[in-house]
Amino acid sequence: MNKSTSKTGSRIWIILTLLSLAGLAFIFEYSKTAGWTTAFTLIEIIFIAILLFSFVMGYVRTGLWAFGHRSLKQLDERELMVISHSLRTAYAIFTVLVLSFLLFVALTERSISMVCVVSFIIFAHLLPASIVGWDEVV
């Protein structure tokens, strides 16, 4: 990983990425119910731009994305421990969030949009690298 970003800098990019992903899904769901307006469309475009920019700055430039997606054969013992911890933590967080979301959907008798599904898939890929970036200096 590139050692040029401080822990605070990494955390800011991680927060921006995850919040923009959540905002993208929430605005889409709200707009689907309330009706699309020019303002909602503009907000969605802004969230997409923030998501892409913060992903590049926080995950690609720091090497978090590559580190989290390397083959286990390429990692040393310490890196294996870091990845193992991040995967276990990410699995627990993701499971609780998705099951809570599914319970909410079942109780409110709503349908699940493709944007929510894609957001959860992106979140599942970002979460282990986010945990590494949050805990480690990258």
Give backbone dihedrals phi and psi of 109, rounded to 5 degrees, phi first.
55, 40
Task: Determine the average pLDDT of the residues in 59-68.
Answer: 90
Cβ partners under 8 Å of residue 78, min gap 6: none
Q: What is the pLDDT of residue 106?
A: 95
Task: Determine the average pLDDT of the residues in 83-92.
Answer: 95
Tell me which H or E stretch contains 89. helix 77-108
The closest of 46, 60, 50 to 16, measured between CA atoms, is 50
Evaluated on CA atoms 42, 31, 95, 74, the torsion sign reads negative
Per residue in 99-128, pLDDT (tens digit) is 999 999 999 998 999 999 999 999 999 999
Q: Is the pLDDT of residue 1 over 80?
A: no
Q: Whole-structure pTM over 0.75, yes or no?
A: yes
User: Where is average pLDDT lowest: 13-22, 65-74, 77-86, 101-110?
Assistant: 65-74
Rounded CA separation 115/112 (Å)? 8
